[in-house]
Amino acid sequence: MTVNEGEPLRLYRKALRYAESDPEVFLGAARRAAESILLDIALREAVGSKPTLEYLLTALSAKNLVPPKVALAVRTIQNYGNYGSHAQDASTEEISADDVQPCLTALTQLAAWYGQTSASLAEDAVRHDLLGHQRRTGTTRLADSTLIVVKAVLLGCGLEAALARRNHRVAPVQLPWSDHLVRDVSTRLLDLAVYNEQRVDRLLQAERDVHEQVVTVGRVGHSMGGRNFYLLAARGGRWDGATAQEFLADPAGAQIAVPKQSDMFGNLLSALSTDEAGLADRGVTVLDVPHHLGLELFHLNRDVLAVGGQNLRMHAQEHDGYFELLNSDMLPPPIRARLRSAAANVLIANRSWLAELDLHPADLHRELMRSFHECGSDDETYEGIVRDLVTHASFPPETLAESRERLVRHVLFESYRWGRP
């Protein structure tokens, strides 16, 4: 499965770009984005319908494929789309950016639900395919990734060569970064995966099957060296001119855009030393946004704050209109240490797979890490990995090739001290 944001999210991002510059055009674009989202769900679920918003919503709702709250958001988009088309016929009617705020909010709610739903459907399809194929002797199923930090480990640790010496070939399987990876290793749908150490430890403690079948092979580094948290703000917005200390002392009224089903949300809670209920008590609102959303989210609200991945961070650094209101370096040492711990990643394996290859976890870890560290000291190998990551890692669709390479080199240096700063 290749990570691709697809036509629905492309239309969503396009609609956001018109929210301030041309609100009337935005309303039409929002309706087209909503139609595209519902059509994609209908096609994935084999639901027959005419490709119009009304028919799609009716057909999907009848099969309980659209939650009531999401259906309400679609109705809001539909009503505003109708209003926009009528307003364009009346020369005296003018729509402002403020007028379309409810439609903006509804569209983002729909896109967030779609991002989670489409990822789940794609994930289910991959697992169904794996279950339908009999495991071949001498084949190791490895969880592949388009995340720079993880893919670098997979490219550089020499796993294919290590297993070839044991008459095994690697079969990479593209699956999203989630707790399901650990469960897939426990059921032997996968044999190996790289995942967040804290999340693995929690699952080992909480789920019996995981505890019995999964073993931690060893740590493989820290994402961005543990300095991967930041809170992005827009120039000219509410927080322009505020210091990190002022924000931490009184964050009331802040709206923070972050994918809630992600380690980014966990980092936010850790940075603010609170939980989700504590955020609400301090007057902070969380906007659950899709993982792939970029700087367009500031069209939703210039006052919003964003917690995102390194793609968004690098994109913002290339524009004068954004700044980091808060990041890891601005936090007290105990919180920095907590964030660094939360950024550690480990290689995990299925116990039966290790037994079949007569491998001890510590021995395998030493062998792989020896190869991995050699990659960082060999210029030719390092440059080859950079090229591979620029080609195969995930980036926002509008990112230029030179920006991708700059991001790859930056992430590799911060995470593994490869190359130069």
Q: Would you state the structure tokens that stand for residue 96, as one six-digit string?
A: 């402002």
Domain that holds residue 250: 231-341
- Positions of E strands within 279-327: 285-287, 305-306, 322-327
DSSP bridge partners of 139: 169
pLDDT for residue 1? 31
Q: From CA 381, how far away is CA 157, in angstroms rounded?
A: 12
Last residue of a domain, one of 311, 341, 371: 341
State the pLDDT at residue 315.
81
Let me know whether 266 and 368 are in one domain: no
Neighbouring CB atoms inside 10 A of 132's CB total 7
pLDDT, one tens digit for every residue, the chain (421 residues): 333 457 887 888 888 888 878 888 889 999 999 999 999 888 888 887 788 888 899 999 999 999 999 999 999 999 988 877 665 555 556 778 778 888 988 888 888 788 777 766 666 677 767 776 667 789 999 999 888 999 999 999 999 999 999 999 999 998 888 888 999 999 999 999 999 999 999 999 999 999 999 999 999 999 999 999 999 999 999 999 999 999 999 999 999 988 887 788 989 999 999 999 999 999 999 988 766 667 777 766 788 999 988 878 888 888 889 999 999 999 999 999 999 999 999 999 999 999 999 999 999 999 999 999 998 888 999 999 999 999 988 886 667 788 889 999 999 999 999 998 7
Q: What are the residues whose beta carbons fall under 8 Å from the beta carbon of 133, sequence distance 6 or more?
A: none
d(Cα 374, Cα 113) in Å, to the nearest integer?
Answer: 43
Domain shared by 59 and 161, yes or no: no
Q: Per the structure, how many domains does the chain have?
A: 3
Query: What does the pLDDT look like over 179-210, one tens digit per residue?
Result: 889 999 999 999 999 999 999 999 999 999 99
Domain boundary among 296, 321, 341: 341
> Would 2 be classed as within a structural domain?
no
- Are residues 57 and 158 part of one domain? no
Task: Let me know if residue 379 belongs to a domain.
Answer: yes
190 & 83 share domain: no
Tell whether 187 and 285 lie within a shared domain. Answer: no
Q: What CATH number is associated with residue 157?
A: 3.40.190.10
| Residue 4 pLDDT | 42
Q: What is the pTM of this model?
A: 0.77
Same domain, 217 and 238: no
Q: Would 1 be classed as within a structural domain?
A: no
CB atoms within 10 A of CB 210: 20
Alpha carbon distance 18, 353 (integer Å): 53
Q: Please, are residues 33 and 81 in contact by the beta-carbon 8 Å criterion?
A: no
